[in-house]
Amino acid sequence: MPVAPLLLPLLLVPLCAAALLGLVGDRRFAPRINILGSAATFAASLGLAFQVHARGAFMAGGTFFFVDALNSYLAVLTAFVSTTTAIFSRRYMRREREHGRVGHVGMRFYHAMFQLFIFAMLLCLLTNNVGILWIAMELATLSTVLLVSLYRTPKAIEAAWKYFILCGVGIAQALFGTVLLYFAAERVLGEGGDALLWTNLSRVSGQLEPTVLSLAFVFLMVGYGTKVGLVPLHNWLPDAHSEGPTPISAVLSGLLLNVALYALVRCKALVDAATGTRHAGNIMMGFGMLSILVAAFSLLRQKDIKRMFSYSSIEHMGIATFAFGLGGPIATFGALLHLLMHSLAKSSIFFTVGHASQMHGTQEMARIRGLFKGNPLVGWGFMFGVMAIVGLPPFGVFTSEFLILTATIKDAPAAAPLLLLGLTVAFAALFRRVQPMVSGDAPPWQQSLTAAHLPVILHLVLVLAVGLYLPPFLNDWFQTAVGLLK
């Protein structure tokens, strides 16, 4: 079968944009190329989703790529958030540039690596080969390491070093898991690249050796779990997400964590099918619950605004991991919806947080005041973003959390009080902080700024819309994806 016409541009556009932006460098129109490239990727991803909708799951490029409801959904989400982030980053980075926090070389590097990062994530999602998935995941880490240290402050360098080393070690465990998986698969499927294809593996999952797969899953869990930021493997995450430029925080929190979780979920479905037990799911539930609780209580102690929302990301990834581990149609549906809602809400929060800290020249929450008066868009955007992320109705996060909680009460009643506790603590911790930041008079150190309206409004409207009314096509899409993960 020839390469599906829309798959090729989806991967080639970000790759070419990365090369082009590397050549163009720090010119006036570089941000526009960045936006156009991302928008073209988004258009291609939509086209791909329509193809999947029309034809069902298919392979492309021989057996190299594989597209189904699950990964096309995440590809669309990735391309969408990267587009809005590119729009946000134009204004945001211009200001950083004016304030001398980043220079010529830095800007060139920033734009090129942003696109390379998008490419790596899309490759992760669309590849059919478990080995290539690993390589792309490592590429996604490597392309963002030097973006985290872009400002060259001691803290930024420390954060990037931690990110590099801890994720490197983590992902090495995943490679060992992949080797074990190949070892088991090779005995059934024969040698060569075919033994590492998702499509082949899921076909023969019943014949794979359960002992090897259980062991492989432990390594895969530790490896990809590090990238998802699950407790106790999360140490790098708050640092990397808080010290880098804000657009990068938005895509790291909103997208990279999803992609890592996607890898884990695919592995889990395979391992549970092979062992015929709930072994893998239980491990995920354990890690997920621990992440929810630890992150919720850590939220209480934060002083840095971006750091606080990084912990909130850990909490939400914990919820999704827990729900995927729990399995069953409702929990899996809830988890898929939760990934979508979290990505949109969290990146919009990072957009407003980025502007708020630029206005005050600090990320310290104690010095951020009077956002409503200072800049209504930033203030209200931030307020609504936080309302969405803590799961207040009618925002979409409420719907997904409600579904997950319902499934928990039904299938794992013992975990339900803990889940509720985590959600409540996180709710209280975030709200306590937000009130003083948005209300009151603008402090004298506050500066005015022109905020990027579109990304914030677009994300929040989408989160609200899905909360009020889940369109049938989205419902069908998720149902198909749930069917794949049975």
Partner 1 sequence: MSLELAAKINSFLAALVLLTAFAMLAQRRMKGLIHLFAWQGLLLSVNTAIVGFVASRHHLYISSMLTLALKVVLLPYILHVLIRRLRIHREIEVVVNIPMTMMIGIGLVVFSYQLTAPIIELSTMVTRSTLAVALATVLIGLLMMITRRHAVTQVIGFLALENGLFFAATSATYGMPLVVELGVALDILIAAFIFGIFFFHIHATFESLDVEQMAHLKEHD
DSSP conformation letters of 29-97: THHHHHHHHHHHHHHHHHHHHHHHHHH-SEEETTTTEEE-HHHHHHHHHHHHHHHHHHHHHHHHHHHHH
The residue range among 11-19, 151-159, 392-400, 421-429 that interacts with partner 1, by the rule CB under 8 A, is: 151-159
The residue range among 78-86, 206-214, 274-282, 413-421 that interacts with partner 1, by the rule CB under 8 A, is: 206-214
Counting other chains too, the contacts that 399-403 makes at CB distance below 8 Å and 24 or more residues apart are: 399/337, 399/341, 399/466, 399/467, 399/470, 400/334, 400/335, 400/337, 400/338, 400/340, 400/341, 401/319, 401/334, 401/338, 402/334, 403/330, 403/331, 403/333, 403/334, 403/337
Q: Give Dmax (Cα) for the chain.
A: 70
What H or E segment, with its residue span, contains residue 28?
A: none
Helix axes 453-468, 329-360, angle to 10 degrees: 150
Q: By CB under 8 A, name the one of 26, 46, 61, 186 that touches partner 1.
A: 186
Residue 172 makes contact with partner 1 by CB under 8 A: yes
The residue among 144 and 408 lying less far from partner 1, judged by its C-beta, is: 144
Number of residues that bind partner 1 (CB under 8 A): 50
The residue range among 143-151, 348-356, 396-404, 420-428 that interacts with partner 1, by the rule CB under 8 A, is: 143-151
CA distance 431 to 425: 10
Mark out the alpha helices in 206-328 (DSSP H runs): 210-228, 236-243, 246-251, 257-275, 279-299, 305-326
The residue range among 209-217, 324-332, 401-409, 451-459 that interacts with partner 1, by the rule CB under 8 A, is: 209-217
The residue among 165 and 468 lying less far from partner 1, judged by its C-beta, is: 165
Give me the 303-332 binding string for partner 1, x by CB under 8 A, dash otherwise. x-----------------------------
Least distance in angstroms from the C-beta of 1 to partner 1: 19
Q: By CB under 8 A, name the one of 211, 424, 435, 450 that touches partner 1.
A: 211
Q: How many CA atoms within 13 Å lie on the side-chain side of 286?
A: 10
Judged by CB under 8 A, the chain residues 275 through 304 that form the site for partner 1 are 298, 301, 303
CA distance 483 to 486: 6
The residue among 162 and 355 lying less far from partner 1, judged by its C-beta, is: 162
CA distance 87 to 39: 10
The answer to whether 229 touches 259, Cβ cutoff 8 Å, is: no
Residue 25 makes contact with partner 1 by CB under 8 A: no
Residue 192 makes contact with partner 1 by CB under 8 A: yes
Prior bond of 443 cis (ω within 30°): no
| Residue whose pair of structure tokens reads 């198909």 in the numeric block | 480
The residue among 56 and 62 lying less far from partner 1, judged by its C-beta, is: 62
The residue range among 138-146, 280-288, 338-346, 432-440 that interacts with partner 1, by the rule CB under 8 A, is: 138-146
The residue range among 81-89, 184-192, 255-263, 332-340 that interacts with partner 1, by the rule CB under 8 A, is: 184-192
The residue range among 180-188, 265-273, 429-437, 448-456 that interacts with partner 1, by the rule CB under 8 A, is: 180-188
Residue 151 makes contact with partner 1 by CB under 8 A: no
Measuring CA to CA, how many Å separate 247 from each of 237, 312, 355? 15, 17, 11
The answer to whether 257 touches 317, Cβ cutoff 8 Å, is: yes
Residue 3 makes contact with partner 1 by CB under 8 A: no
Q: By CB under 8 A, name the one of 82, 129, 200, 312 that touches partner 1.
A: 129
The answer to whether 118 touches 13, Cβ cutoff 8 Å, is: no
Residue 139 makes contact with partner 1 by CB under 8 A: yes
CA distance 449 to 356: 9
Q: By CB under 8 A, name the one of 58, 151, 183, 380 that touches partner 1.
A: 183
Residue 160 makes contact with partner 1 by CB under 8 A: yes
The residue among 169 and 465 lying less far from partner 1, judged by its C-beta, is: 169
Query: How many DSSP H helices and E strands does the chain contain?
Result: 20, 2
The residue range among 152-160, 326-334, 336-344, 454-462 that interacts with partner 1, by the rule CB under 8 A, is: 152-160
Which pair of structure tokens corresponds to residue 348? 């919009």
Residue 15 makes contact with partner 1 by CB under 8 A: no
- Which residues contact partner 1 by CB under 8 A? 129, 131-132, 134-135, 138-139, 142, 145-146, 149, 152-155, 157-162, 164-165, 168-169, 172, 175-176, 178-180, 182-183, 186-187, 191-193, 195-196, 209, 211-212, 215, 238-239, 243, 298, 301, 303
